[in-house]
Structure 1
Amino acid sequence: MSKMRDRYELEHLYSEPIRAFRIYLKQSGYTPSTQKEYMRESLLYLESLNGISPQDVGKLHIMEFLSDKQGSAGDKTRNRSLSAIRTFYMALMDFEIASKNPAAEVKKSKTEKNKKPTYLEEEDLSKSLQFIEGRYKNRNIAMFLLMAYCGLRVGEVHRLNLKDLKKNRGTIEVFGKGRKWNEIPVPEVLLDYLLEVEKERITPYRVQEDAFFVSQKGRRLSIRQIQKIVNQTFELFKKNNPNINDMKLSCHKLRHSFATMLLKNDVDIRVVKELMGHSSIETTMMYTHINDEQKKKAMATVNVPVNVIGELK
């Protein structure tokens, strides 16, 4: 039996859950690449059920499926599959197809959990701003600042609409993961840039287009276009700063830098969780880095009782 035939039969057998998951991913604001990846993982999972209804499956089957994944491809692939399956069941619960999420009880691999995100120190983050270029420089700076100093995901910048900027309140409303709205206070400098971008904004060809960030053709900037602008900025930054040349920098690393900066400035982790739009405090805990300078400062507070043990002879 060909793979095409398998896929057709799978979609026929599980038509309702698959349709619900597609709608859920689209409405929840997942990026096209994540939607594609999660659909692929969910179809592999459904294939493993051999005709059993997803709502009749327990934790054991999911762990067996993930164990096979981990054995052939490693922890990272296992955890990506788990995220997809968790989201799949969230969709089924949302559409009242399932009453529970058996994947919610399955733990992620410890290897992935302990991995620290890459981030820029506050000084380097500030320096990188000097290398933002382009014909629409104010627009590019505003997008960069939203990710680096408000913690927005690239998809959230892409989805930002004119009505989401609350000028009187000095905030933006962000539509994030899990179809949740999050109101974020905007630093005054960034607010000035957003107001300027709104003034300079090209009138879209489509009257109903409400996108805050548009291209030179008046269309909503795609995620790929935003990533390209940020990547070009980092390429220039690296050429002029050899000390960060080996770092893999991207839009998401700006978000990592924002979270780390807040925690280093002693902002309550519960507040950071809300600003980042995390569903769990465990996710926010990944950003509690301890660097060498902090270790030195901590050890400087330790007093060894020389008067008791005596001087070294």
Structure 2
Amino acid sequence: MTQVSHNSKPKLLDQVRDAIRTKHYSMKTEEAYIHWIKRFILFHKKRHPKEMGENEINQFITHLAVKDKVSASTQNQALCAIVFLYKQVLKIELGDFGNIVWAKKRETEPVVFTKKETRAVLDQLSGMNWIMANLLYGAGLRLSECLQLRIKDIDYEYNQVTVRDSKGNKDRITVLPQVVKQPLQEHLTTVKKLHEKDLKEGFGSVYLPYALERKYPNADKEFGWQFVFPATQISTDPRTGVRRRHHIYETVLQKAVKQARQKAGINKPGSCHTFRHSFATHLLQDGYDIRTVQELLGHKDVKTTEIYTHIIKGIGIKSPADNL
């Protein structure tokens, strides 16, 4: 039995990282895939993946469900990481995995704020947090999509927001809420001053997707490519080691929304993603067709969007107890 040596192990993981970056996957996906590939190798006593195959993958993925009690989505992510290793890095085609024991998927409907609750939460926010939350609700953005917005993605003329490289690696266009336009323009005036300050101090570059940095050497310092919601501090890019300003952390808005919900006296377990659920549900309530909502949300399959029709079916139904 060949083991992954101390010297060869980083080489394999470096190949994985290179393959992930070639596919333009996010940093979060890269970290997750590396984590699961390491776990897979360690689970099998550091055997090299080339010496293993479908049976060993089956054993590991089943172990996650049976022994570690992971969720169905976590188990699926682990499998995706290992399949990526074999197909994209080792160039080995995999066959049938056999009878994998899958974690039970919980069928839960999304939490949705009413329009009154949405307004109450938003009223507890201010400044940049208010703008971001209004984009989550008013444009149906995921939190990661909101944080990754570049200045060039905002179109004030057509009242549109371009969401680039979201799930599925496909750009989409959604609506820019009128209520956000002026506060956002004022916010970007401050962002521009910050960018000019960074340039004077020898910084001002930003991470560019899709290897655009090589294609357009100076684009990383253009204002249009800067993040709409930049971090307060310059930091080191973990992929390149370059010191620059990234977007703010997810936790900034997550904490603000949690506090706002509590201050608004709303007891249901709402989060940043609840705004996106509410966006879809309220559009359907207002009479927009499901295909339009699907397009705005960026769902590949309309079945994913149909969950919101299940929610609105229960709204407004009169209980038979009220007719007694």
Q: TM-score, normalised by structure 1?
A: 0.70
Q: Look up the SS of the partner of 1:68 in the other structure.
A: helix
Inter-partner Cα distance in structure 2 for 1:200 and 1:98: 51
Inter-partner Cα distance in structure 2 for 1:35 and 1:12: 15
Inter-partner Cα distance in structure 1 for 2:142 and 2:31: 18
- Give % identity: 21
- Which sits farther off after the overlay, 176-185 or 81-90? 81-90
Q: Output aligned runs, 1:5-44, within 5 Å.
A: 8=6, 11=9, 14-15=12-13, 18-23=16-21, 27-31=24-28, 34-44=29-39
Q: TM-score, normalised by structure 2?
A: 0.68
Aligned amino acid, residue 290 of structure 2: I
Partner of 2:158: 169
Call closer, same or farther: CA 1:212–1:95 in 2, change over 3 Å.
Answer: farther
Partner of 1:253: 274
- Which sits farther off after the overlay, 280-289 or 143-152? 280-289
Q: Does 1:130 align with 2:123?
A: yes
Inter-partner Cα distance in structure 2 for 1:297 and 1:123: 20
Q: Report Cα offsets for 1:227-249 as digits up to 9, x if no partner.
A: 324423432442342xx23x333
Q: Report Cα offsets for 1:247-290 as digits up to 9, x if no partner.
A: 33322222232233334445443433332233444443444443
Q: Report Cα offsets for 1:272-313 as digits up to 9, x if no partner.
A: 3332233444443444443685372598xxxxxxxxxxxxxx
Q: Which runs of 5+ in 2 are unaligned?
A: 207-225, 235-244
| Higher share in helix | 1
User: Could you tell me how far 1:92 is from its partner in structure 2?
Assistant: 6.6
User: Could you tell me how far 1:163 is from its partner in structure 2?
Assistant: 1.2
Residues 155 and 223, structure 1, Cα contact 8 Å, conserved in 2: no
Q: Does 1:207 align with 2:204?
A: yes
Q: Look up the SS of the partner of 1:179 in the other structure.
A: coil
The size of the alignment, in residue pairs, is 279
Partner of 1:117: 110
Output the aligned Cα RMSD. Answer: 3.9
Residues 171 and 183, structure 1, Cα contact 8 Å, conserved in 2: yes
Q: Look up the SS of the partner of 2:67 in the other structure.
A: helix
Task: Indicate which of 127, 141, 144 corresponds to 2:133.
Answer: 144
Q: Output aligned runs, 1:1-313, within 5 Å.
A: 8=6, 11=9, 14-15=12-13, 18-23=16-21, 27-31=24-28, 34-47=29-42, 50-53=47-50, 57-58=53-54, 62-74=57-69, 76=71, 78-86=72-80, 89=83, 97=91, 109-112=103-106, 114-133=107-126, 137=127, 139-175=128-164, 176-201=166-191, 202-204=193-195, 205=198, 206-209=203-206, 210-215=226-231, 219-224=245-250, 227-241=251-265, 244-245=266-267, 247-290=268-311, 293-294=314-315, 296=317
Q: Look up the SS of the partner of 2:194 in the other structure.
A: coil
Residues 158 and 220, structure 1, Cα contact 8 Å, conserved in 2: no
User: Could you tell me how far 1:172 is from its partner in structure 2?
Assistant: 1.7
